[in-house]
């Protein structure tokens, strides 16, 4: 049985090494994926400049604060129990999604 345990330990070690190598590859390729999403490396550099600009950060903060206020007011205005005959329609979230 000692041989079987050694094989299991080696297999686990091999899987850990493979997992680590794949994780490193994915993390290194992340910039390439993001660049492809915005239309190439040149565009990616421009987008990075936008994300780092104080004006963009201020705009995003304002939008997030407005959305938070809207949701907090919406929760406060909703009745705790809806009547049985009340049909509710789904709402569409129109807040922009920002990834960094």
| 93 domain-assigned | no
pTM of the model: 0.45
Cα angle 42-45-46, degrees, rounded to a multiple of 5: 90
Average pLDDT of the residues in 23-49: 90
| 96 domain-assigned | no
| 94 domain-assigned | no
| 92 domain-assigned | no
Q: Which domain holds residue 23?
A: 8-73
Distance CA 15, CA 32 (A): 26
Question: How many structural domains compose the chain?
Answer: 1
| 34 domain-assigned | yes
**Predicted confidence (pLDDT) per residue in 53-94, tens digit:** 999 999 999 999 999 999 998 876 665 555 555 555 555 565
| 12 domain-assigned | yes
């Amino acid at each position: 049985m000692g041989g079987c345990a050694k094989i299991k330990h080696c297999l686990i070690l091999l899987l850990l090494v493979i997992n680590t190598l794949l994780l490193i590859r994915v993390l290194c390729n992340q910039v390439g994926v993001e660049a492809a999403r915005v239309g190439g490396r040149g565009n990616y550099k421009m987008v990075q400049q936008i994300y780092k600009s104080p004006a963009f950060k201020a705009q995003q903060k304002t939008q997030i604060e407005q959305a938070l206020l809207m949701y907090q007011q919406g929760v406060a205005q909703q009745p705790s129990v809806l009547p049985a005959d009340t049909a509710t329609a789904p709402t569409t979230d129109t807040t922009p999604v920002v990834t960094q």
